[in-house]
Amino acid sequence: MLNIKNEVLVRVYAVAALVLLVAVAIFMQLFRLTVTDAPKWEAKADSLYVKFVDAPSQRGNILADDGSLLATSLPFFDIHFDAKAEGLTDEIFNQQAVDSLAWLLSTYVDQQYTPGAWRDFLDTLRKSPPDTKGIRYVPIAKDFPYNKALIVKNFPIFREGRFKGGFIMEQTNRRERPFKLLAQRTIGYTREGALPVGLEGSFNNVLEGKEGKQLMIRVPGDIYIPVNDLAEIEPEAGDDVVTTLDINIQDVAENALLNACKTHNADHGCAIVMEVKTGKIRAMANIGRTPEGWWETYNYAVGERVEPGSMFKLPTFMAMMEAGELDNLDEKIPVYGGKVKIYDEELQDAEPHGMDSMSIKEVFARSSNVGTATLAMKFFKPNPAAFVEQIRDFGLDLPTNIELGGEEAPIIKNPKDPKSEWSGTSLPWMSIGYELLLTPLQMLTFYNAVANDGRMMKPYIVQRTERYGEVVKEFRPTVVKRSIASKSTLTRAKELLKLVVSKGTAHSIESPYFAIAGKTGTAQLNYHKFRASKGIRHQAGFCGFFPADNPVYSCIVVISEPERGGYHGAEVAAPVFRAIADKCFAMKADLHEPINKNDRPKLATAQLPTYDAGATEDLRKGLKWLGLDYYREPDLPEWSVITAERGDSLLIQHRTVPDKTIPSVIGMGLKDAIYLLENRGCRVRVQGVGKVRQQSLAPGTRANGNQICTLFLE
């Protein structure tokens, strides 16, 4: 029994070893096929007779706020001819059909070739050997719109389709912008081998959709052509992206910015318009100078960090207010004639004025660097970190996180950070907008919060995505900070901003129709603590909101390196802001105060319809329609006259119209005057327009039936 048991165990072990060896062999073979020899078999697979390839999807649209198309994909078609199609017989390809096809191709596809040339070309293709390279994929037309491709599809021979007529039609999609260069950089692009840009890049996953599968067949020349016109697995179209852009405001902003850049021969500039209550970007314009002309070459509004210059004085003054200082804005402070030395560096005002002192209001309105730095040193020199902390509390150290790519975080120096290179002059220079970096959009977000009573909104440029008109995802206004400052600080800050436009550096853009609040900014780009250097370059800016008392839009304009016609913010950037604001005010009815908002004022005596005469009933109806109160004499006859009693009351009283003498028609309209005079036999002549102010025949003259009466109207 023991021997039998041992014999069984030996057999079991032998079978197990054999199975193990076979498994190892199979595993090694799989490893060789899938890893070692993978490139070889992949190459063989690529040379198969038939295979599936990716079929591109229809890219989604980018739309403006009102649904206008900013970017869309249009289908275009490339047409090829398979001269050796399996079902294309000589009977189909007969003399008459080829002649008709040749004439149609010459007439509607390519007129540089005659029908005879097309006929010879097609005949040569048909007679070529089957293995001739490219014979089964001959280009006929490229980039045809759908309606024209459909016409070609119905030509003789081609109408037989892919297999019997050799007709091959392939769709390609081309990105088109109906408004051409409008918001070019903001819309952006995606290109093979280049970084994606703008909304096209940021929302590429939403817009691109899902690719389908197209069955392709290999023909001589290692060319793959589609088996069918339609994909076997249909691609899924991308979703649409609906932006917050207003095409009218965008157009206004781009034109105003372009005109300014041309006028001042600037290097580049940007302008942004934001809706105060929501943070919606209504316009984002970028202009850059290139050898080929002016283009949107870069999104400066989002991606260019710059020293904001005097536009930063608003957060500086607000920081002092929040610290409990600047209680009396009428207080006089020294400005040292516009020059002051801080440690070893000299600080001076942009424009010489020779004044020894200014009120705090004047310092802000006139944008005094010396006055601003003096105040900042007075209140924050013992603890400069408190100033920086207050700036951070305003949210100025945070990026906006707008949907567009390329935004960089602000740079705000910190005396507590050894890497910040803080020095004794950092505080005064930061107070006037130097030694820190912000993008125009980040600066505007702060001003927008001031306009919005302290509530800081996240700027956003996409409000929803849609699929066939149905909302897929919606982006709503987002509050970043419920209040950046106290109500008292915000109220005084707004008053200072309005003062800049009414009496300060931006007085030239004051509007008689609506109030503007804002701050000019002029920064040197290649300065060293304001020491003059050769070839000084400047940056002009203006940031603010309108209407100032009930803000609807905030706006920033930044223009870099203007070379002529001035370089200050008031001369270069502020007029662009005013042009944008004027057009917005004209286009948007909600910016206008209703004319019937207040009680109707009482008309002055000169405006009342005094001494108007005519038929009594007509006068009464006219006054009632105008809503004017009046008194009347009792038992009025057919004709009456309106007079003013006590200067502000209207009275309808009797006017005598005798039957046999010339009546007074003074105050009457021409219709009534002619009626009365012609009934008394007078021939009437008229001079002027309006009511009768004078008549040639005196009232009371006896009517004899043969008189001429001239009426003088005005």
What is residue 436's three-state secondary structure? strand
Cβ atoms of residues 432 and 372 within 8 Å? yes
Residues 170 and 112 in one domain: yes
| pLDDT on residue 532 | 46
* Higher per-residue confidence, 633 vs 397: 397
What per-residue confidence (pLDDT) applies to 534? 52
User: Is residue 262 within a helix (H) or strand (E), and if so which, with residue range?
Assistant: helix 247-264
Token pair of 383 as six digits: 């603890």
Two tokens, residue 408:
């960089």
pLDDT at 572: 96
Q: What share of the chain in percent tops pLDDT 90? A: 44
Considering the domain boundaries, does residue 356 fall inside one? yes
- Mean pLDDT (the chain) is 86
| Angle subtended by helix axes 146-153 and 95-108, to nearest 10 | 160
pLDDT greater than 90 at residue 634: no
Exposed (0-12), middle (13-18) or buried (19+): which is 202, by Cβ within 10 Å? buried
Provide the pLDDT for residue 5. 63
Q: Residue 340: pLDDT above 70?
A: yes
CA 95, CA 114: separation in Å to the nearest integer? 17
Q: What is the largest CA-CA distance in the chain?
A: 167
- Kind of pairing between the strands at 240-243 and 692-695: unpaired
Within a domain: 34: no
Q: Does residue 42 lie in a domain region?
A: no
Tell me which DSSP letter residue 484 carries.
S
Residues in the chain, overall count:
714
Pick the residue with more confidence: 384 or 297? Answer: 384
Q: Is 35 exposed, middle or buried (0-12, 13-18, 19+ CB in 10 A)?
A: exposed
Residues 341 and 230 in one domain: no
Among 539, 568, 591, where does a domain finish? 591
Identify the band that residue 49 occupies on the pLDDT scale cut at 50, 70 and 90.
Answer: low
Alpha-carbon gap, residue 512 to 500, rounded angstroms: 15
Q: What is the pLDDT of residue 293?
A: 86
Type of residue found at 270: C
Considering the domain architecture, whether residues 233 and 257 belong to the same structural domain is answered as: no
Confidence of residue 228 (pLDDT cuts 50, 70, 90): low
Identify the weakest region by mean pLDDT among 157-166, 244-253, 285-294, 481-490: 157-166
Whether residues 347 and 432 share a domain: the answer is yes
Look at residue 248 and tell me whether its pLDDT is greater than 90: yes
Beta bridge partners of 456: 481
Residue 76 clears pLDDT 80, i.e. is over it? yes
Q: How high is the pLDDT of residue 480?
A: 95
CATH number for 67: 3.90.1310.10
| pLDDT band of 3, cuts 50, 70, 90 | low
Q: Are residues 487 and 584 in the same domain?
A: yes
**Higher pLDDT residue, 500 or 40?**
500
Which whole number is the average pLDDT over 301-317? Answer: 95
Which CATH number covers residue 699? 3.30.10.20
Q: How confident is the model at residue 462 (pLDDT cuts 50, 70, 90)?
A: very high
Does 23 fall in a domain? no
Considering only residues 175 and 641, tell me which one the structure prediction assigns the higher pLDDT.
Answer: 175
**Tens of pLDDT, residues 355-399:** 888 999 999 999 999 999 999 999 999 999 999 999 999 999 999
Same domain? For 268 and 197 the reply is: no
The amino acid at residue 51 is: K
209 and 332 in one domain? no
pTM here? 0.74
Query: Is the same domain home to 394 and 303?
Result: yes
pLDDT tens column, 639-689 = 877 776 655 678 888 888 888 888 888 888 888 888 888 888 888 899 888
Residue at token pair 């403006």: 64
Task: Read off the pLDDT band of 529 (50, 70, 90).
Answer: very low
Q: Check residue 699 and give its pLDDT.
A: 87
Count of structural domains within the chain: 3
Lookup: tokens for 122: 């097609």
CA 203 from centroid of its chain's CA atoms: 17
Q: When comparing pLDDT for 597 and 2, which is higher?
A: 597
Q: What is the CATH number of the domain that holds 329?
A: 3.40.710.10
Q: Burial of 93 by CB count in 10 Å (0-12 exposed, 13-18 middle, 19+ buried)? A: buried
Assign 41 a pLDDT band (cuts: 50, 70, 90): low
Q: Say whether pLDDT at 47 is over 60.
A: no
The β-bridge relationship of strands 268-275 and 281-290 is: antiparallel
At 217 the pLDDT is 67
Per the model's pLDDT, the better-predicted residue between 429 and 42 turns out to be 429
> What is the rounded distance in angstroms from the CA atom of residue 299 to the CA atom of residue 147?
38
Average pLDDT over residues 403-410: 91
Alpha helices in 32-114 (DSSP H): 38-46, 95-108
Instruction: Please say if the pLDDT value at position 227 is more than 80.
Output: no
Same domain, 641 and 541: no
Alpha-carbon distance of 689 to 692, in angstroms, equals: 8
Tell which wins on pLDDT, 534 or 431.
431
pLDDT at res. 530: 46
Residues 222 and 75 in one domain: yes
Per-residue pLDDT at 543? 97
- The per-residue DSSP string of 525-587 comes to SS-BTTB--TT--EEEEEEEEESTTS--EEEEEEEE---SS--SHHHHTHHHHHHHHHHHHHH
Contact at 8 Å (CB) between 662 and 687?
no
Question: Where does the pLDDT of residue 544 fall: very low under 50, low under 70, confident under 90, or very high at 90 and above?
Answer: very high
Same domain, 441 and 375: yes
Q: Does 124 reside within a domain?
A: yes
For residue 531, name the pLDDT band (cuts at 50, 70, 90). Answer: very low
Amino acid at 697: L
Tell me the three state secondary structure of residue 712.
Answer: strand
Positive or negative, the Cα torsion across 468, 474, 475, 476? Answer: positive
Where do runs of H (alpha helix) occur along 367-434?
369-380, 384-393, 426-431
Q: What is the DSSP string of 276-287?
A: TTT-BEEEEEEE
**Residue where one domain finishes, among candidates 180, 209, 243:** 243
Whether 506 is in a domain gets the answer: no
* Pairing outcome for strands 631-632 and 649-654: parallel
CA distance 672 to 678: 10
> Between β-strands 553-560 and 268-275, what pairing exists: parallel, antiparallel or unpaired?
antiparallel
Band of residue 221 on the pLDDT scale cut at 50, 70, 90 = low
Average pLDDT score over residue span 126-154:
84
Is residue 12 situated within a structural domain? no
Contact 280, 445 (CB under 8 A): no
State which H helix or E strand residue 407 sits in: none
pLDDT at 222: 62
Specify whether the CB–CB gap between 653 and 665 falls below 8 A.
no
More confident residue, 128 or 584: 584
Instruction: Read off φ and ψ for residue 257, nearest 5 degrees.
Output: -65, -45
Q: How does residue 557 score in pLDDT terms, banded at 50, 70 and 90?
A: very high
Query: What pLDDT score was predicted for residue 609?
Result: 65
Least confident stretch, 45-59, 362-376, 396-410: 45-59
Q: Specify which residues 169 forms β-bridges with.
A: 79
Residue 426 lies in a domain: yes
**Residue 146, CA distances (Å) to 76, 149, 173 in order:** 6, 5, 11
Owning domain of residue 664? 605-713
pLDDT at 45 over 60: no
* Alpha carbon distance 367, 119 (integer Å): 80
Least confident of 74-88, 188-202, 308-322, 628-642: 628-642
Q: Which of these, 657, 662, 674, 660, lies nearest to 711 by C-alpha position?
A: 674
* Sign of the Cα pseudo-torsion (512, 517, 523, 529, in order): positive
Q: For Cα atoms 555, 561, 562, give the angle at the middle one, nearest 5 degrees.
A: 80
- b/e sequence 646-676, b meaning 16+ C-beta within 10 Å: eeeebbbebbebeeeebbbbbbbbbebbbeb
Predicted confidence band of residue 714 (pLDDT cuts 50, 70, 90): confident
DSSP character for 6? Answer: H
What are the structure tokens assigned to 64, written together?
């403006």
Residue 350 has what pLDDT?
A: 81
Could you write out the DSSP letters of every residue in 637-677? -SEEEEEEETTTEEEEEE----SSBPPP-TT--HHHHHHHH
Which of 455, 453, 446 is closest to 543 using CA atoms? 446
Same domain, 404 and 537: yes
Question: Average pLDDT of 610-622?
Answer: 80
Last-in-domain residue among 194, 227, 243 = 243
DSSP 296: -
